[in-house]
Structure 1
Amino acid sequence: MPLIVFPSSRLVWVRIAALLFTCVAFSVAAHDPGLRNGDMADWCIFCWAFSFACTLVVLLVELFSLQARIPVSWSNFPITVACYAALLCLSASIIFPLFFIKDQTFYNNEVRDYRITATVFSCLAALAYMGEVSLSKARPGEVAGYMATAPGLLKVCQTFVACIIFILVSNPVTYNHHAALKWCMAVYCICFILSMIVVVLCLGECTGWLPIPFSKFLSAYGLLAVIMYLTASIIWPVFQFDKQFNRGSQPSSKVIAAAVMTCLNFLLYLADLAYTARLVFVSA
């Protein structure tokens, strides 16, 4: 029978706080009588419920000391979950009030209170997960899993931003009226897949399966991703905002947001390459 070990530490209490905040957020939103089912509402509830479930798994595994029996790298899994949860809760904290509080006419104060409460606890959950990431990330000179380092956390951010781009450009489809825009979509897909491969390899402790050293793979992939995203950062605005290429129509807010997210991911990949080069070459 596994021994129950529940150390009293700041990290544990931060996780418990995140668990409670996400539980309150999705419970209140789910019981909101005026909240209609829709893409944005479902997304916000998913963010809170997913974060709650993952945090609960992490707490239970550590409570019963089952780390050795879990088929993932425990030096990488908790911080990866915390980073994704922080981004999910942050996105829900922005989306939920924009769609369900701002410019809304409430005929029932109870509905307004439900939504304000969900927003407040979503913000608290995002702060709690950010605190967990800050407490869990590797310190200078500390031996830790790759996902606890700056490049590992950047990989999480890159995949998350790519998912946002996919949502923005797919509904409605805004990349199929020119071959150059299809190239941008290829850039998003290729870089997303490669970043997810790195995350999965680290979580499964399978980096040794690569035919080349993991450090060389990271350097080559990082340089390739920076070059590809640089082209997308230039091509997407040119072919979306120039009337010569976009058939004279005004770019939608989603197209503009996709351009911003493309530039943001370019900066993330550039920072990732700089950190990776420092880890590989300076450390060597």
Structure 2
Amino acid sequence: MGVYRLLQLFSTCAAFSLVASLGIGMGAVSHWSMFIWCFCFVITLITFIVQLGEYQPSLPFSGKSFLFTYACLATVFCLSASIMYAITYIQFLPHGPFRDQATAATAFSSIACVLYALEAAFLWLLFLGETTFYFATIHGLFKLLETLVACIIFAFISNTYLHQHQPALVWCVAVYSICFTLGAVAMLLKLVKFENRLHTFFPRFLLGQTMLSVLLYASALVLWPLYQFNQEFGGQPQRSSDVSCSGELASTLCIWDQKLTVAILTAINLLIYVADMAYWIHFIFIRY
């Protein structure tokens, strides 16, 4: 695993370094991708040091569960970074050394994604039957999907031009942040096995958290398209009305397309939260 950790560290560091050294025309998606690679590098480095020093017994949670959970999250993060960076940046670069360098960064990000995915599969097979991994459950899968979609949304809304001009759009950004934070807290509580202390109350807590997320995302699904695409509220109903979409020398995905992407992702994540809520309703009120 030591050599495997070094490969993960090298891949994420290479992706980050290649993009950072470009230094030209980097948009919000590029910065978010760099944050993902840097985050994965730091957490992997900490994990490597903890395993190397054999500090696992002093941790307040199961090392196996943490490694599996982090491997799944890192897979999702690197996958989202690879896809977003490729479709929103590389395709707009002219052929030359800058495009080759950006393509190499995406390749290293994809390699890191494969390495983390293989680690997750290896841990699942190695400890199958010995322990129950959170992301191997239905609710864990829902949380993984919610996290993936939220990460992609954050990549686009990190461009403050999309939302800084309207309070309603700022509320939508707050919705995405609140729901992501609540999901992170739920995953952390599951990781430290906090539900064992709350017994039957914990599922109801997760149901309440999911219902709140559904209501918040529903408000964002209404407000985001209304203020982005309705002319009466200052939006742009037509793609042609956005000057960033008409330039032949565009270097990134135009603003209107980014707004539409966030609207679609909001609808997708709302559906995932609704399915998650239905699961907990069935688990609490029908199963018992």
Structure 1 unaligned segments of length 5 or more: list them: 1-5, 7-11
- 1:268 corresponds to which letter in structure 2? I
Q: CA deviation at 1:214?
A: 1.0
* Residue 256 of structure 2 is aligned to residue 256 of structure 1: no
Equivalent pair of 2:11/2:112 in contact (CA under 8 Å): yes
Equivalent pair of 2:221/2:266 in contact (CA under 8 Å): yes
Query: Whole-Å Cα distance in 2 between the matches of residues 82 and 245 of structure 1?
Result: 43
Q: CA deviation at 1:225?
A: 2.4
- Give a deviation string over 1:187-219, Cα, whole Å, max 9, x none: 434423321221232344444676972111112
Equivalent pair of 1:147/1:202 in contact (CA under 8 Å): no
Q: Any idea what SS the aligned residue of 1:105 has?
A: coil
Q: CA deviation at 1:123?
A: 1.3
Matches within 5 A, 1:11-26: 17-26=7-16
Query: Whole-Å Cα distance in 2 between the matches of residues 141 and 116 of structure 1?
Result: 41
What is the RMSD of the two structures over their aligned residues, measured on CA atoms? 3.8
Q: Any idea what SS the aligned residue of 2:258 has?
A: helix
- Which of 93, 105, 113 is 1:126 aligned to? 113
Matches within 5 A, 1:173-192: 173-174=162-163, 177=166, 181=169, 184-192=172-180
Query: Whole-Å Cα distance in 2 between the matches of residues 23 and 162 of structure 1?
Result: 23
Residue of structure 2 equivalent to 1:76: 65
- Which of 189, 196, 200 is 2:188 aligned to? 200
Structure 2 unaligned segments of length 5 or more: list them: 240-255
Query: Whole-Å Cα distance in 2 between the matches of residues 195 and 172 of structure 1?
Result: 26
Residue of structure 2 equivalent to 1:101: 90
Q: CA deviation at 1:99?
A: 5.5
Q: CA deviation at 1:161?
A: 3.2
Relative to structure 2, which stretch is displaced further, 260-269 or 38-47?
38-47
Q: CA deviation at 1:266?
A: 0.9
- CA distance change for structure 1 residues 153 and 142 in 2, over 3 Å: closer, same or farther? farther
Equivalent pair of 1:18/1:125 in contact (CA under 8 Å): yes
Query: Whole-Å Cα distance in 2 between the matches of residues 165 and 132 of structure 1?
Result: 26
- 1:269 corresponds to which letter in structure 2? Y
Query: Whole-Å Cα distance in 2 between the matches of residues 153 and 60 of structure 1?
Result: 29
Give % identity: 35
- 1:199 corresponds to which letter in structure 2? M
- Which of 212, 216, 225 is 1:224 aligned to? 212
Q: Any idea what SS the aligned residue of 1:144 has?
A: coil
- 2:277 corresponds to which letter in structure 1? L
* Residue 259 of structure 2 is aligned to residue 269 of structure 1: no
Q: CA deviation at 1:56?
A: 3.4
Quick check: which one's helix share is greater?
A: 2
- 1:132 corresponds to which letter in structure 2? E
- CA distance change for structure 1 residues 186 and 89 in 2, over 3 Å: closer, same or farther? closer
Equivalent pair of 1:80/1:156 in contact (CA under 8 Å): no
Equivalent pair of 2:16/2:37 in contact (CA under 8 Å): yes
Query: Whole-Å Cα distance in 1 between the matches of residues 103 and 156 of structure 2?
Result: 26
Matches within 5 A, 1:45-60: 45-60=34-49
Equivalent pair of 1:15/1:128 in contact (CA under 8 Å): no
